[in-house]
Amino acid sequence: MPGRSGDFVVITGGPGSGKSTLIDRLEHAGFARSQEAGRSIIRDQTEIGGRGLPWLDPDLFAELMLCWELRSYRLADDHAGPVFFDRGLPDIVGYLRLEGRAVPDHVHAAALAFRYHPRVFIAPPWPEIYRRDDERRQSLDEAERTYASMVATYTDYGYELVPLPRGPVEERLRFVTARLD
């Protein structure tokens, strides 16, 4: 099994549920972290006029996310202690399922081979903070369906889901750090 999976902690959920804000705060507290693939790929593809955008070519977008997440996983080995991931490889499977796309065998194989801590933190939909922007084009309804897809997908891959409380980022920080092994 590649990596130190027990030290690799995923925070997932639907868009606009406060995941990245929490991971930013964990980084500020001294923890290593990954950057979310989706937003960065959308930004980069838009800048270069690329087709790897979820609204243009969902399959290419998924492949780009796969490459990003595999690289993030490998880079995490350079850090001691826990590394927080802003989504993980199973998110790609959940995204493809949500879009009604086939999950290629190599994506499934990656989600099985590159494991994370068995406990995954999941941010529930949070309508009060949800906002659309240039990279987040999903409706609140789609954000809720994304959350449901992540619940099903991470469960299918054998992870224990720990719902994050809705509350201030400091409360969420304490919640997560209190549950680290």
Residue-wise pLDDT tens digits, 59-116: 999 999 999 999 999 999 889 889 999 999 999 999 999 999 999 999 999 999 999 9
What's the residue count for the chain?
181
Residue-wise pLDDT tens digits, 110-134: 999 999 999 999 998 766 665 655 5
Q: Where is 162: in which H helix or E strand? A: strand 160-163
124/148 Cα distance (integer angstroms): 9
Residue 142 has a pLDDT of: 79
Q: Which domains does the chain have, with CATH numbers?
A: 5-178 (3.40.50.300)
Beta bridge partners of 160: 119
88/68 Cα distance (integer angstroms): 10
The residue with greater pLDDT, 62 or 180, is 62
- The one-character DSSP state at 131 is -
- The one-character DSSP state at 6 is G
Residue-wise pLDDT tens digits, 27-48: 999 999 999 898 899 999 999 9
Angle, CA of 142, 136 and 57, to the nearest 5°:
80
First to last CA, the chain: 20
- Residue 132, C-beta contacts closer than 8 angstroms, at least 6 positions apart: 16, 138, 139
Could you identify the residue written with the tokens 């999950």? 103
Query: The whole model's pTM is what?
Result: 0.90
Of 23, 38, 37, 34, give the one whose Cα is nearest residue 68: 37
